[in-house]
Chain A
Amino acid sequence: DQQVKQNSPSLSVQEGRISILNCDYTNSMFDYFLWYKKYPAEGPTFLISISSIKDKNEDGRFTVFLNKSAKHLSLHIVPSQPGDSAVYFCAASAGGGFNKFYFGSGTKLNVKP
């Protein structure tokens, strides 16, 4: 049973517009969340994190929103750039992030020039 779900396998966005990637989780014990970016045949690269004590974390063009009651988080990329085209994974962990992470299935983002 997948505890972290990304229901959109792909997303296409025009350059300069906002990209919104969504992630849902089922385990209420999860209290730390990460977003990763991955290119084919490479390991994931850390993008941004959020703890359950917050509902928003921002880092440059990337903002992660957390809605604990809905068990939902989203990653906003503004403005989107062609170099952002990759697969994005969300991951969740219990124990404050010092434990193993469970990954969603990924969303492939394509930013069109």
Chain B
Amino acid sequence: GAVVSQHPSWVICKSGTSVKIECRSLDFQATTMFWYRQFPKQSLMLMATSNEGSKATYEQGVEKDKFLINHASLTLSTLTVTSAHPEDSSFYICSSNRGREQYFGPGTRLTVT
């Protein structure tokens, strides 16, 4: 299957700082990538759809100024959590479509202290 990578796999940061998470499609070009977050024992919640060369589309309730998404190339999308707070601590996962199937990255565990 297709391969999607994420970096870093885990990060700890202090409250008020910003954190950037990278999502790469390794063996295919991804015009669209998706960003999810997952709280413990809860579902994957779609945050936004990242479109190469244009603005991301955010789901209702997701602050676009807090979760900045950039999709500058066909293989890379980045999610920046700005002015992070402890409540932003979560597991962030990206994915991309290859045909009809979505392939997921391994996820990034963010802990804000």
Q: A-side interface residues toward B, CB under 8 Å?
A: 2, 9, 32, 34, 36, 41-46, 49, 89, 91, 96-98, 100-106
A101 to B46 Cα, complex, angstroms = 8
Q: Is B67 close to A, CB under 8 A?
A: no
B100 engages A49 (CB within 8 Å): yes
Query: Which residues of chain B from 84 to 101 have a CB within 8 Å of any chain A CB?
Result: 91, 93, 95, 97, 99-101
Q: Is B62 close to A, CB under 8 A?
A: no
Partner pick for A43 among B43, B49, B104, CB 8 A cutoff? B104
A41 engages B91 (CB within 8 Å): yes
B100 engages A96 (CB within 8 Å): yes
Q: B-side interface residues toward A, CB under 8 Å?
A: 1, 4, 6, 34, 36, 41-46, 49, 91, 93, 95, 97, 99-107, 109
24 residue pairs A–B, Cβ–Cβ below 8 Å: A2-B43, A9-B41, A32-B100, A41-B91, A41-B107, A42-B107, A43-B93, A43-B95, A43-B104, A43-B107, A44-B104, A45-B104, A46-B102, A49-B101, A97-B97, A97-B100, A98-B97, A100-B49, A101-B46, A103-B36, A103-B43, A103-B45, A104-B43, A105-B43
A104 to B42 Cα, complex, angstroms = 9
A102 engages B46 (CB within 8 Å): yes
Knowing A100-B46, A103-B44, A105-B42 are in contact, say whether A46-B101 is a contact too (CB < 8 A).
yes
Closest Cβ–Cβ distance, residue B40 to chain A (whole Å):
10
A34 to B104 Cα, complex, angstroms = 13
Minimal Cβ-Cβ distance residue in B for A36 = B104
Minimal Cβ-Cβ distance residue in B for A6 = B43
Q: Which residues of B contact A91 (CB under 8 A)?
A: 102
A91 to B44 Cα, complex, angstroms = 10
